[in-house]
Amino acid sequence: MSKIKFIEASGAEHVVEAKDGQSVMQAAMDNLVPGIVAECGGFANCATCHVYVDEAWGAKVPPPEPNEKDMIDCAFHVQPNSRLSCQITVTPALDGMVVRLPISQTGE
Amino acid sequence: MRENVVIVGAGQAGGELATGLRQRGFSGSITLVGDEDHPPYQRPPLSKGFLMGKIPQEGLYLKPHETYGRFDITLRLRTRVESIDRASKHAVLSDGSRLPYDKLALATGGHARRLSLPGIDVGRLENVFSLRSIADVESLRGAFVPGRRLVIIGGGYVGLEIAAVAAQLGLNVTLLEAAPRLLARVTGPEVSAFIEGVHRSHGVQFRLSAEVRGFSLDASQRQAVGVDISCQGVQERIDADLVLVGIGLVPNTGLASAAGLAVDNGIVVDEFACTADPSILAIGDCANQPSAYTGGRIRLESVPNAIEHARVAASTILGQREPSTATPWFWSEQYDLKLQMVGLSSGYERCITRGDPSSKAFSAFYLKGSRILAADVIGRPADFMAAKRLVTGRTPVEPERLADEGIPLAKVAA
Ligand SMILES: Cc1cc2nc3c(=O)[nH]c(=O)nc-3n(C[C@H](O)[C@H](O)[C@H](O)COP(=O)(O)OP(=O)(O)OC[C@H]3O[C@@H](n4cnc5c(N)ncnc54)[C@H](O)[C@@H]3O)c2cc1C
Ligand code: FES
């Protein structure tokens, strides 16, 4: 189990217990964290699970695969620390990680 | 007074509505009734990674079982809603109990369309399958053995995904399609030809313009041993060890019509997901809704639609009326190819492609005048993201610039 803190664009915080081996997206889903839509169910097809990985944790998260990178480059409200949360696997090294959510996953 | 919401169908849309209501602060009671053995799960992997054996069953569940209890959502599985008593506002369940509701949401999805052949009860044949649920995959798995001859009837996305898995697992696959090309209703000829070529290179055989005339049965009359077809006037028997029928979905509208609600290719709802009875909503695959995208009515079979429609219904139940503005989109996976589709191409005038089909990375844009109605994107995820914006924004484009790979898609607007 690792703790992950999700911070909505409004500032609302949600700290969840994530299971090691699951994705950060799934940890949000299991705990009904608002702001992550995850239309494709975790297969890097939709970019509606977009998050900003807090700077302090960036180096601890393995870099994106090319497909994820391409999706992110053209997502909405992109920042240098943007990632698809379905492509980040929870490990003990990520215990305490903070991720922030964009204003909207769909640009609307 | 605590409001009672009853959701019929624990699938993608029903599950999303239940959890979405709680997420947004709904404090009434929520009961999710489903006739399957499982909590709400994703169906797309059924014909992809799950059939391939790459994803465990729990990996399909949208949320683990315990999440529902933790958020005070009553999940009643293996239970059918048999009828709706609109006068007293009760749902009547298969176990005989009656659930009172203030709001009832029908999220009943659909069932696989049956193949009807004169003189044969296809549903009783032991080696003829359809694929809609985890239970379907479980019964199909045992027959999915390398070297067996699989005949797939229907060349839509699901049939093609199953063909890809089967070919990779070493079955001998023949796919029968009634139209002269694959995916004829949803894509242009360029994409149809490309997909067909990819499958052929993996050993899949095709019979296009094929009309299924009947099945040849074994002596017990319980197994199909061949599919009899007529292909442009030529009769042929395709030998089969197992047959998969993938000829589309029929929406589950029986409850609604028995309750006197309007049904026309789906349960008829307004832009707020309401039927004519203000206490009853319908969402997802089973609903026929007005579409901001086409301007007409539409029934969509996709996960993004199920999620969006559940969001609209949650807003309605919470008393905030927010119609859907979403653009339809869909994805598929075949072999190592990633396909992403946005919009609906019907009525397009010309198709412009970018990239090179021989490199297995290209996009096809379907235009009407200077507007992109839809796009099929293969192996170019950045194009998909850009196309989604252009289609959603109804942005006029310059077709010449669209065809020029040197110009980024973000800069093709007229
Ligand atoms: C093999 C396959 C592959 C797919 N691939 C993709 C894809 O790649 N991308 C995509 O976007 N979409 C895909 N889809 C479509 C997508 O899965 C559906 O659009 C989505 O599941 C619709 O959700 P729904 O809740 O409306 O219906 P469903 O998920 O079908 O759920 C309806 C549920 O209601 C239950 N039910 C019905 N009547 C009753 C009753 N009276 N009482 C209790 N329960 C009842 C049903 O048993 C079912 O569990 C695929 C579908 C299949 C079958
Ligand atoms: S859930 Fe679709 S890209 Fe992550």
Categorize the per-residue pLDDT at B86 as very low, low, confident or very high, splitting at 50, 70 and 90: very high
Residue A38's domain comprises 2-100
- Which residues of A fall below an 8 Å CB-CB distance to B? 29-32, 34, 37, 39-41, 43-47, 67, 70-71, 73-75, 106-108
Q: Is there a single domain that holds both residue B131 and residue B224?
A: yes
- Please indicate, yes or no, if residue A60 is contained in any of the structural domains: yes
Residue A108 falls within a domain, yes or no? no
Rg value, chain B, Cα:
23
Nearest to A41 among B71, B303, B325 (CB): B303
Model pLDDT for residues B242-281, shown as the tens digit of each residue: 999 999 999 999 999 999 999 999 999 999 999 999 999 9
Specify the DSSP class assigned to residue A47.
-
pLDDT average, residue stretch A55-61? 92
Does B106 lie in the same domain as B11?
yes
User: How many domains, in total, are found in chain B?
Assistant: 3
Q: Look at residue B120 and tell me whether its pLDDT is greater than 90.
A: no
Do B257 and B233 lie in one domain? The reply is: no
User: How far apart (Å, rounded) are the C-alpha atoms in residues A108 and B292?
Assistant: 14
Residue B255 maps to a domain: yes
Q: CA-nearest residue of chain B to A44? A: B381
Mean pLDDT of chain B: 95
pLDDT surpassing 90 at residue B118: no
Q: What is the mean pLDDT of residues A25-43?
A: 96
**Does a structural domain hold residue B325?**
no
- B366: domain range? 336-411
Residue B151, CB half-sphere, CA atoms under 13 Å: how many? 23
Entry field: residues in chain B: 414
What CATH number is given to the structural domain containing B12? 3.50.50.60
B322, part of any domain: no
Which among A32, A43, A74 is the nearest to B386, CB-wise?
Answer: A74
Asked if B262 and B372 sit in the same domain, the reply is no
A37 Cα–ligand 2 center, Å: 8
In this prediction, residue A108 carries a pLDDT of 63
B24 to chain A, closest Cα gap in Å: 8
CATH number at residue A72: 3.10.20.30
Question: Based on the number of CB atoms within 10 Å of its own CB, is B157 exposed (0-12), middle (13-18) or buried (19 or more)?
Answer: buried
Cβ–Cβ contacts within 10 Å for residue B408, how many? Answer: 12
Tokens read off for B129: 């399958």
Picking from A37, A46, A50 by the largest number of B CB atoms within 10 A of its own CB, the best residue to mutate is: A46
Mutating to test ligand 2, I would choose from A23, A24, A49 the residue with most ligand atoms within 8 A of its C-beta, which is A49
Q: B385: Cβ–Cβ under 8 A, 6 or more apart, which residues? A: A47, A70, A71, A73, A74, A75
pLDDT digits (tens, 9 = 90+) for B153-173: 999 999 999 999 999 999 999
**Chain A contact set for B329 (CB, 8 A):** 46
Residue A34 lies in a domain: yes
Co-location of B130 and B240 in the same domain = yes
Q: Give residue A105's pLDDT.
A: 85
Nearest Cβ partner for A41 among B23, B42, B384: B42
Q: What is the average per-residue pLDDT within B205-222?
A: 95
pTM: 0.96
Q: Which atom of ligand 2 is nearest to the CA of A42?
A: 1
Looking at the structure, do residues B299 and B359 belong to the same domain, yes or no?
no
Q: Is residue B117 part of a domain?
A: no
Cα of A2 to ligand 1 centre, how many Å?
Answer: 33
**Same domain, residue pair B139 and B186:** yes
Q: What is the ipTM of this complex?
A: 0.95
In ligand 2, the atom with minimum distance to the C-alpha of A37 is 1
- Token digits of residue B126: 């032991």
Q: Tell me the CA–centroid distance for residue B263 and ligand 2, in Å.
A: 34
A90: part of which helix (H) or strand (E)?
none
In chain A, which residue's Cα lies nearest the Cα of B389? A107
Between strands B287-290 and B242-245, the pairing is: unpaired
Residue-wise pLDDT tens digits, B284-304: 999 999 998 888 999 999 999
The mean of the pLDDT values for chain A is 94
**Contact assignment for A40 to B44 by CB distance below 8 Å:** yes
Residue A41 and residue B381: Cβ atoms within 8 Å?
Answer: no
Indicate if B128 and B96 belong to the same structural domain: no
Instruction: Name residue, tokens 């959510």.
Output: A101
Q: Which of A30, A37, A107 sits opposite B67 (nearest CB)?
A: A30
Could you give the number of structural domains in chain A? Answer: 1
pLDDT digits (tens, 9 = 90+) for B87-112: 999 999 999 999 999 999 999 999 99
Strand-pair partners of B287? B267
Q: How far is A58 from chain B (nearest CA, A)?
A: 23
State whether B75 and B62 are in the same domain.
Answer: yes
A37 close to ligand 2 (CB < 6 Angstrom) = no
CA dist B119 to B115, B122, B129, B156, B211, Å? 12, 9, 18, 26, 17
C-alpha–C-alpha distance, residues B341 and B378, integer Å:
9
Between the CA of B43 and the centroid of ligand 2 the distance, in Å, is: 15
Residue B100 identity: P
B34 located within any domain: yes
Residue A107 lies in a domain: no
| pLDDT of B1 over the 90 cut | no
